[in-house]
Amino acid sequence: MHRALITGGTAGIGAAFARAFAGRGTALVLVARDPERLDETAAQLRSEFGVEVETLAADLSDRAAQQRVADRLETAVDPVDVLVNNAGFSVRASLLEEDLSEHDLGFEVMIRAVLKLGGAAGRGMRERGHGWIVNVGSVSALVTQNNYSAIKAWVGNYSESLGVQLSGTGVQVAALMPGWVRTEFHSRAGIKGSSIPGPLWLDADRLVEDCLRDIARGRPVSIPSKRWKLIAAVLRTTPRGLVARLSALLSHRRNREK
């Protein structure tokens, strides 16, 4: 039986991954901070899909919790075949802020935890000769708005670097780089999204299916939908000065939505 461990697996993209794998008969290990929501999500998935669902309550901003999840990834008992590093949140604090607490949380959850869990999963999967690791990044990595953009740029580079180190082991690594997705992510961050044109929004279930097809084909980067592939291609070839001006415009519009 295949088994997938998903961080942030009770909401948004993480929940979409959970549904996608459960629909394929894959056993799940769901990781999230809220024990009650974990139990509710697990019960719903068991009832709807008839799959085994293990829960692991862990706040990934805490290093002891990171270690507990890493230990689960490395164990040979009921081994994990797929890791989805999805847990995250918007970091909107200014880079000029004296208080770095929001930035520190972002680093712990979306950089250190990704590094820690990716390494643990990679070691275990390499030993068994197969596995998938999906790190959820963002197309925002291609602009220069804030520390969230910088963090997601790290996620993309890290994913491709991990893929290089695991080349030839049977372990596939992919960075998922979506654009704007209709989930609770934006509302939790206080972002209304009213200035974002409707066609640019993505459906979480659809983008997960696109991602799973991409990683099955060995693609190191998955950018869901033709429109976001085009946007990413344009951003990658645009002079950095113009990217900076675009980033400033996007930041100004977002700040107006607060």
pLDDT score at 186: 47
Mean pLDDT of 108-131: 98
Looking at residue 81, its amino acid is D
Nearest Cα residue to 177 out of 148, 132, 211, 144: 211
Helix (H) or strand (E) holding 70: helix 63-74
Catalytic positions are 148
What is the chain's mean pLDDT, rounded? 91
11: confidence class by pLDDT, cuts 50, 70, 90: very high
pLDDT score at 88: 95
Residue 6 has pLDDT above 90, yes or no: yes
DSSP code string of 150-185: HHHHHHHHHHHHHHHHTTTTTEEEEEE----BSSTH
Residue 84 has pLDDT above 50, yes or no: yes
243: confidence class by pLDDT, cuts 50, 70, 90: confident
pLDDT score at 255: 60
Share of the chain above pLDDT 70, in %: 90
User: 143-199 pLDDT, tens per residue?
Assistant: 888 999 999 999 999 999 999 999 999 999 999 999 878 755 445 545 554 456 566
pLDDT score at 145: 84
**φ, ψ for residue 178 (rounded to 5)?**
-85, 165
Residue 138 has pLDDT above 60, yes or no: yes
pLDDT score at 183: 59
Residue 27 and residue 4 in contact, taking contact as beta carbons nearer than 8 Å? yes
pLDDT score at 196: 62
CA–CA–CA angle 186, 38, 1 (5° rounding): 110
Residue 29 and residue 54 in contact, taking contact as beta carbons nearer than 8 Å? yes
